[in-house]
Chain A
């Protein structure tokens, strides 16, 4: 309400809308300041227990998902502006005409559980099995590792990280989710003797905080973890494991004594947390994820969580697994497009193939190519359908985040001219408004169940870890940063000059 006495009162007492950020799977709280229906500024959610008000640079971009001047505002067919009905009927007819085996559906990792369920229903009615979550390639691999059965469920909550005495980090997590640094700092400086073990081929922002940094050869994470499992299992009396630490040392480039010391540091801590960050350059993310879970099972009082590149990658994968039987994975769909098996492709959310030259050539010759996206996409062909998307900030929904908690979000503003994936797929299926509540309940139920488990034997997986190909030619050099060094030069120039004077 505008206070007439004070002309600035609306700015002084702004309306604040709460939501969560989905640019990584931590799910930090974000606030938006509103003037009427317009979102003016980003603000910080100090009451959210996940981030306690802090926000990383990527979190600030949430403002642009709503208020960016270059957002897509109307549907496009090829280069030309089209009406919603025209574009949707074209998409509907082209999906129905095709043979099910030639159609691929990809749904973004930032879509909500309900949208994933609806996409699953669309695939089931049309008989399509080529449906997957189109997050990062590493997301799909990591989720594959979460599906193998282990004796204990060791999935931990984000709030448990700073209560432990040890943290093991695989990869550069502070590059992906910097907000975790407040928790890692609490472990490092909390108590004398606390350990931060970083397993990363690069010197990174995360290794900066390590008490012991295992700088291994790129791609040998699985072998290193197998070596650590051997040490921990034999220390705890849970059975001998038949691998040679000498061979592990040779593969990883780290001495056997250092591996054993790091493993014992983690094992001897009263409680601890293992964090796995997503990385496309790492080979066999699924194996690494499985071995991390195995370490946390063998060692007492340990929890783990793997973070994904996209906020709801876990939720979308879980719901699709439950909704569609025997669906194909993201890698198989990618191969299918390259082979020419898949000739019609609908992508709900962003385009995961942008900048992939092998596939971009194929996209130009597709019979059907449809996107829904927040920002304008590259136009590959004349018949391409591009639909303006309302992001989760404008449509809301429930999301399953990396540590398994489910958050439901309400829309921040009204969507003008754009539609959410939920509305788009519902109109493809000719669903009414009445089914919305039922779908929400069903999606929540599916998401809470968790992934469909597969059987796996630890001995086989450990043996597999020692056979992973290691690419030694990739240089494990220092990270590069986008900042330029002008200020530093000024700074050192001043210091050098001062020294010479005195």
Chain B
């Protein structure tokens, strides 16, 4: 009885998602935090997803951008953060000592240390679901259709249509305090 190697199957499935990232359309986001809840329930109650609150009503998810030259990986003293061949920045569960150097180094405020569990959770693009051929949990759960999982090139085109900056700026100017 031969056992197929599950890891290799997964790697093949993952190739399809090499160029894909989660993208947030700021016009549609209603700040319901379903993405954070989906993330927490999928990752043993660790919230891997940060949140930003530029104005009172908007409460926006902050996804890891998977930088080309990740500052978190450079700052990590134990080589726990690594830029993989498929483009994802991954954190090793075993190597991470929870020193939160990466949280300090991240220029976008995406990584946030979990002080109770003494770990630093980080977005892994729901690899377990990608291997099944599905999309990440936050995108699936999004109530308003603001999050999408698409090619990086398509995102650049989509960004031109996005009125987000206009909406946020107009609301910030309109505020009194």
B30 pairs with A60, CB closer than 8 A? no
Interchain nearest-CB distance for B121 vs A (Å): 13
- Nearest A residue to B1 via CB reads A5
B32 pairs with A55, CB closer than 8 A? no
**Mask for B88-115, Cβ within 8 A of A = 1, else 0?**
0000000000000000001111101000
Interchain nearest-CB distance for A189 vs B (Å): 7
Most buried by A among B3, B36, B109: B109
- Knowing A54-B142, A179-B143, A488-B52 are in contact, say whether A174-B59 is a contact too (CB < 8 A): no
Residues 8-32 of A at the B interface (beta carbon under 8 Å)? 8, 12
Write out the residue numbers on chain A whose beta carbons fall within 8 Å of the beta carbon of B51: 483, 487
A178 pairs with B3, CB closer than 8 A? no
Write out the residue numbers on chain A whose beta carbons fall within 8 Å of the beta carbon of B32: 56-57, 174, 178, 181, 205
Write out the residue numbers on chain B whose beta carbons fall within 8 Å of the beta carbon of A60: 34, 37-38, 40-41, 141
B84 CB-CB contact with A under 8 Å = no
Write out the residue numbers on chain B whose beta carbons fall within 8 Å of the beta carbon of A42: 41
Write out the residue numbers on chain A whose beta carbons fall within 8 Å of the beta carbon of B59: 205, 481, 483
A54 pairs with B141, CB closer than 8 A? yes
A182 CB-CB contact with B under 8 Å = yes
Q: List 17 contacting pairs A-B, 8 Å CB cutoff, sorted by A.
A: A53-B140, A54-B144, A54-B145, A56-B37, A57-B33, A60-B38, A60-B41, A178-B34, A179-B143, A181-B32, A181-B144, A189-B27, A205-B32, A208-B31, A208-B58, A485-B53, A488-B109
A447 to B18, CA, bound (A): 51
- Knowing A54-B143, A494-B109 are in contact, say whether A487-B52 is a contact too (CB < 8 A): yes
B54 CB-CB contact with A under 8 Å = yes
Residues 40-82 of A at the B interface (beta carbon under 8 Å)? 41-42, 44, 46, 51, 53-57, 59-60, 63
Write out the residue numbers on chain A whose beta carbons fall within 8 Å of the beta carbon of B173: none
Q: Show the binding face of B for A, using Cβ within 8 Å.
A: 1-4, 6, 27-28, 30-34, 36-38, 40-42, 50-54, 56-59, 62, 106-110, 112, 132, 140-145, 171
A487 pairs with B109, CB closer than 8 A? yes
Most buried by B among A6, A55, A189: A55
Write out the residue numbers on chain B whose beta carbons fall within 8 Å of the beta carbon of A150: none
B54 pairs with A488, CB closer than 8 A? yes
- Nearest B residue to A186 via CB reads B145
Q: Show the binding face of A for B, using Cβ within 8 Å.
A: 4-8, 12, 41-42, 44, 46, 51, 53-57, 59-60, 63, 174, 178-182, 185, 189, 203-209, 478-479, 481, 483, 485-488, 490-491, 494
Instruction: State which of A55, A56, A181, A488 has its C-beta within 8 Å of the C-beta of B53.
Output: A488
A180 to B51, CA, bound (A): 21
Write out the residue numbers on chain A whose beta carbons fall within 8 Å of the beta carbon of B62: 487, 491
Instruction: State which of A5, A63, A209 has its C-beta within 8 Å of the C-beta of B30.
Output: A209
B57 pairs with A185, CB closer than 8 A? no
- Nearest A residue to B106 via CB reads A490
Write out the residue numbers on chain B whose beta carbons fall within 8 Å of the beta carbon of A185: 28, 30, 144-145
A8 to B144, CA, bound (A): 34
A8 to B1, CA, bound (A): 15
A44 pairs with B141, CB closer than 8 A? yes
Write out the residue numbers on chain B whose beta carbons fall within 8 Å of the beta carbon of A490: 106, 109
- Nearest A residue to B40 via CB reads A60
A486 to B111, CA, bound (A): 11
- Knowing A208-B57, A494-B107 are in contact, say whether A55-B143 is a contact too (CB < 8 A): yes
A54 to B28, CA, bound (A): 14
Write out the residue numbers on chain B whose beta carbons fall within 8 Å of the beta carbon of A8: 6
